Structure 1
Amino acid sequence: MSNVLSLAEGIKEWLIEVRRDFHMYPEFGMEEHRTSEMIAKYLDEMEIEYKKGIANTGVVGIIRGKDKGKTVALRADMDALPIEEKNQVSYKSKIEGKMHACGHDAHMAIVLGAAKLLNNMKDNLKGNIKLFFQPAEETVGGAKPMIEEGVMDNPKVDAVFGLHVAPEIPAGKIGIKYGKMNASSDSIKIIINGESTHGAYPHSGVDAIVIAGHVITALQTIVSRNIDPRNSVVVTLGVINGGTRGNIIADKVEMIGTVRTLDPQTRKKVLSRIKETVQKVSESLGGSGEIIVEEGYVSLINNDDMVDIVRTNALELLGRDNIKVLQEASLGVEDFAYFLQKSPGAFFRLGCGNVEKGIVHDGHHCLFDVDEDCLSIGVAIQVQNVLSILNK
């Protein structure tokens, strides 16, 4: 297995070059046109079969082994963020107001590097490898439409692996999480309807602002009194608008928020209780309430057997001291979760931090960067993950 790490180290300079090119030309979700063209260019150079235009700008490559067997998928997200980069580096973003501030440039380089090594082994592979280059993870979510266009079929994907760079973990280490790893998200819009009147005569109207205050307070009891305290839930209202003047009783208040949960059953229960609370509290105070729910990403739940594969491979490649078993799930979202709904798989954190190099900033920060030593490590682990499935 150490040979796999040696092979990955052997293409390190190429990986850095690929990553830096992506970094200099970031593109927003569903606008990754240059990015997908560059991915196609690299796959052409490797003589790897692929299809473009999946879910708009996505690319799917396939490496077909010599013998029939299982199919393993590796995923990399492609999109950047609306952030002005402040790093003073030679590969700084050349596009004003856009930056790869979450490491997707590294993710693409790692999957391309894994493809490069696995393609050289294809005559000895018992099965296939699919390469998912996915648009719009940061915005509308490209995983679901890719799945709807059939990327998990023909041939059917038997296992799927993904990773995300993690500046809070030093380069050379990884973080793994069994079971629930990332939350689901739903956007909610609450509309409270009252009846307008003069502020001097509140008894002749229905104050939507007062109702909204009661609704806000009642919603917080859902987390504290309706949900098992060992199961994390977040209900946040970030926007509230209502009223026109200080001496007029408001007839309408609108609130916008987000709901984060870690499992489907809790998600369903929380949304149901929010709906009941909004309607019944509003009615009890003489008004009416409605809620509009816009479903976001589902929760990411790893398959424990697949996490064991990642752990075993990292143990042999990096050593026990370089594996961190994460105990807490993140209330952030990740649309790799949709791939895990269709196939067993695992998502893990790849350390990319380096205090001595000043690489300490979290994702979505204008000074975010990665220690590029992590690239070859990510390649080696993903290659070995594939081989562990295909060579069983």
Structure 2
Amino acid sequence: MADFQTQAAAMAEQLVAWRRDFHQRPELGFHETRTSRVVAEHLHDLGIEVQQGVGGTGVVGIIDGVGDGPTVMLRFDMDALPIHEINDAPYRSQHAGVMHACGHDGHTAIGLGVATLLSRQRQRWRGRIKLVFQPAEEGLGGAMAMVRDGVLQQPAPDYAFGLHLWNQFAFGDLVIQAGPLLAAADEFRLTITGRGGHGAMPHEGIDAIVIAAQVVSALQTIVSRQVDPTETAVLTVGTVHGGQAFNVLAAEVVMTGTIRTFDAAVRRQVWQRMEALAQGICQAYGAAFTLQQVGCSAPATVNDAAAAAVMRQAAQTLTSPAHIEQIKPLMIAEDMSEFLQRVPGCFALVGAGPHPYPHHHAGFDFDERALPVGVALLCETAARILERPTPQV
């Protein structure tokens, strides 16, 4: 089997150069035109079959091995965030108000490294690699856009793997585990409609602010009193907007928030209880309401046990078992989950810290020594599935 750790380490300088190039030129979701062009050109140069425009700005590369065998999908996200970078590093963002504040520049660089190494090894395995460079992971539904465009067809992957650089975990640590890793994320908008009036004569109106206050308080009882305590859920009201003047009853209040869950039944329960509570309170006060799911939701990221076992075996060739950890699932979300709902696979976290500023912070950065680790981990994982057996003598 190829020594991917040594090969990845040898290309560390190139990986850093790719990452810094992407970091200086970040692009928001579904606008990754330069990034996808750079990716496609590199894949072409490696002799890899390339499809562009998948799911908008997504790129897919196919590396065929020798003979029939399984298809292994490896996924890399490319988009940046609408954040103005405060770092003064020489590779800081050159696009005002746009920044790679989540490590996707590193993921794309890792993808180019994986493509480079695996394209050299195609004679060693049966089947094929499907490299998926995804747009718009940051809450914009890029994974589903690619699914709708047929990324899971022709050829259909048998396994799917991905990773996320994580700067809150120490460099050298890997998180690879079966079962739930990241939560489902839903965004909601709840609108309460009353009747405006003079603040000095509240009996003549229907005060949407008072009703909204009752609803916000009641929503907190869903997790604390209605969801099984052995399950996990979060319901956060993040914004409340209503009212025009100090002496006028608000005719309308709009609140938005997020729901995070791991279990699909709990997810449905939270939505149902939100509807029931809002309906009961508004009816009692004579108000109306609408509850909407907005934005692009993502299901929980749940790793297949067999796929996680393969990835852990691959990781053991790179580091000691003491550095391959299991954690309590995190309440953040990742739309890699859309692929893992349809294809057995595993999503790993690669330690790239510790760093004082977390993901989605204007001062975010990570330890670039993690880039070769990510390349070697995904290459080794794919090779373990596709490696041609040694002929028996």
Match of 1:213, SS? helix
Match of 2:190, SS? strand
Check if 1:361 corresponds to 2:357.
yes
Which residue of 1 is the match for residue 199 of structure 2? 199
Structure 2 residues without counterparts, runs of 5 or longer: none
Which residue of 2 is the match for residue 305 of structure 1? 306
Give percent identity, aligned residues only: 41
Check if 1:95 corresponds to 2:91.
no
Match of 1:68, SS? coil
Relative to the length of structure 1, the TM-score reads: 0.94
Which residue of 2 is the match for residue 135 of structure 1? 135
Distance 2:369 2:230 in 1: 38
The 10-residue stretch of structure 1 (123-132 or 197-206) with the greater mean CA deviation from structure 2: 197-206
Equivalent residues in 2 for 1:8-157, closer than 5 Å = 8-157=8-157
Tell me the amino acid that sits aligned with residue 19 of structure 1: R
Distance 1:247 1:24 in 2: 50
CA contact (8 A) 2:215 2:278 kept: yes
- Measured after TM superposition, the shift of residue 367 of structure 1 is 2.4
Distance 1:93 1:178 in 2: 36
Distance 1:83 1:208 in 2: 34
Which residue of 2 is the match for residue 211 of structure 1? 211
Structure 1 residues without counterparts, runs of 5 or longer: none
* Equivalenced residues, count: 387
CA contact (8 A) 2:303 2:347 kept: yes
Check if 1:160 corresponds to 2:160.
yes
- Measured after TM superposition, the shift of residue 381 of structure 1 is 0.8
Match of 1:131, SS? strand
Match of 1:44, SS? helix
Distance 2:310 2:98 in 1: 36
Tell me the amino acid that sits aligned with residue 320 of structure 1: P
- Measured after TM superposition, the shift of residue 175 of structure 1 is 1.4
Check if 1:325 corresponds to 2:326.
yes
User: CA 1:233/1:125 → structure 2, altered by over 3 Å: closer, same or farther?
Assistant: same
Distance 1:383 1:199 in 2: 67
- Measured after TM superposition, the shift of residue 252 of structure 1 is 2.4
Q: Deviations over 1:330-361 (max 9, x none)?
A: 1111000001011001111011115xxxx442
- Measured after TM superposition, the shift of residue 101 of structure 1 is 1.5
Distance 2:271 2:243 in 1: 27
- Measured after TM superposition, the shift of residue 2 of structure 1 is 7.5
CA contact (8 A) 1:283 1:289 kept: no
CA contact (8 A) 2:235 2:260 kept: yes
The 10-residue stretch of structure 1 (218-227 or 89-98) with the greater mean CA deviation from structure 2: 89-98
Equivalent residues in 2 for 1:312-351, closer than 5 Å = 312-326=313-327, 328-351=328-351
CA contact (8 A) 1:184 1:300 kept: yes
- Measured after TM superposition, the shift of residue 130 of structure 1 is 0.4
User: CA 1:99/1:199 → structure 2, altered by over 3 Å: closer, same or farther?
Assistant: closer
Tell me the amino acid that sits aligned with residue 56 of structure 1: G
Distance 2:356 2:253 in 1: 42
Distance 2:203 2:86 in 1: 56
Distance 1:196 1:365 in 2: 40
Relative to the length of structure 2, the TM-score reads: 0.94
The 10-residue stretch of structure 1 (290-299 or 268-277) with the greater mean CA deviation from structure 2: 290-299
Q: 367, 371, 377: which one pairs with 2:367? A: 371
- Measured after TM superposition, the shift of residue 322 of structure 1 is 1.5
